[in-house]
Structure 1
Amino acid sequence: MSLPPRFDVDADDITRVVRSFYSVVRGDPVLGPVFGGHVADWPSHEDKIVLFWRNAILGERCYSGNPMQVHLKAKTVDPDHFAGWLALFDEVLHRELPQTPARAWSALAHRIGQGLRSGLLAQRGGFGALPDLG
């Protein structure tokens, strides 16, 4: 049994947004090289991210993975990259979707992005990390 969608988008909308976003990312002077250093097969990466969003938005339970672990292992991903990532994602959302679902998806992406950013900071000795008392 799947859950009702969080907001009014469908699987085709999700695919379109993800493909458009990664097209923009590849040309970004900051994020392009970061992603390019970790993504060898763009279509497969995009397909996996489509599943992530279908899981998060449509409740399809079709994604298996741990985004936090992936980002922690990617040593070139900096917590400060999330601001640029989210700005580009917002641009794509507002270009590809009507205002209401674009805003709703943006809010969800910002919550997820903040969680990933905070996790990276904590693991790398920034905000939320335990002090070194030794």
Structure 2
Amino acid sequence: MIPPRFAVTEDQIAAVVAEFYTCVRQHPGLGPVFAAHVQDWPAHEAKITRFWKNAILFDRGYDGNPLAVHRAAGDVRIPMFDVWLGLFDSVLRRELPSETAAAWSALVHRIGRGLVFGLGQAEGAPPSLR
């Protein structure tokens, strides 16, 4: 068995995801974008909880392609990721011990950079190394 990336419980992951999406729904910039694509919030939150359990705890319950989903949405813009990351960081700081929040923040920022990079590339094009 692979050890977790850092110490966090499944309940803490679920609490962070729930609080994050509560904040997203209230956010004037992110809320309308998410509302256009998420019809079933409990199902979406469960899926994203599985994503984080996979990313942190190596629990193989998630099956998806976040880049493809964000790309297919059509209205996700690169500047939104700074807002998304800031909101996520604020939830992490409120919900978790500082060491756990910092470790999760580092992971979420790495994933965010990957999504921004992927969204900046034309689909199917080789990556720009500039």
Q: What TM-score does the superposition give when structure 2 sets the normalisation length?
A: 0.93
Match for residue 37 of structure 1? 36
Alignment length, in residue pairs?
Answer: 126
Mapping for residues 4-15 of structure 1, pairs under 5 Å: 4-15=3-14
Q: Which has the larger radius of gyration?
A: 1
Asked if the contact 1:123–1:129 (Cα under 8 Å) also holds between the matched residues in 2, the reply is no
Asked if the contact 1:5–1:59 (Cα under 8 Å) also holds between the matched residues in 2, the reply is yes
RMSD value, Cα: 1.3
Q: Does 1:24 align with 2:23?
A: yes
Shift of 1:123: 2.3
The residue type equivalent to 1:25 in the other structure is V
Q: What TM-score does the superposition give when structure 1 sets the normalisation length?
A: 0.90
Question: 2:82, 2:63 → 1: CA distance?
Answer: 25
Match for residue 121 of structure 2? 122
Match for residue 51 of structure 1? 50
Question: 2:59, 2:21 → 1: CA distance?
Answer: 22
Unaligned stretches of 5+ residues in structure 1: none
Shift of 1:79: 1.0
Question: 2:99, 2:62 → 1: CA distance?
Answer: 25
Give identity over the alignment, percent: 56
Please identify runs of 4+ aligned residues in structure 1 that moved more than 2 A.
none
SS at match of 1:34: helix
